[in-house]
């Protein structure tokens, strides 16, 4: 699943915790690329990105 940061095919608390870790931090490397491609693309993690993740939630 493309919106799945830990790439295990599910969008769940593990992915949520990855976003939570990056919340308010300056994105680097793969995470910066991921945010640009699959989340809101504004270069930071905020509530918009969480809402995108939750929309794709599988549990
Ligand atoms: Ca964002």
Q: Is residue 7 scored above 70 in pLDDT?
A: yes
Ligand 1 centroid vs 40 CA: distance in angstroms? 4
pLDDT of residue 4: 87
pLDDT of residue 41: 96
Ligand 1 centroid vs 3 CA: distance in angstroms? 13
Ligand 1 centroid vs 46 CA: distance in angstroms? 6
pTM for the whole thing? 0.86
Q: Is residue 1 scored above 80 in pLDDT?
A: no
List pLDDT tens digits, range 21-54.
Answer: 999 999 999 999 999 999 999 999 999 999 999 9
**How far, in whole angstroms, is CA 12 from its chain's centroid?**
11
**How far, in whole angstroms, is CA 29 from its chain's centroid?**
14
């Amino acid at each position: 699943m493309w919106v799945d940061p830990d790439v295990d095919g599910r969008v769940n608390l593990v992915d949520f915790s990855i976003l939570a870790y990056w919340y308010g931090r300056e994105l680097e490397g793969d995470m910066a690329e991921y945010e640009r491609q699959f989340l809101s693309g504004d270069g930071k993690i905020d509530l918009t990105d969480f809402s995108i993740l939750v929309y794709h939630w599988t549990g």
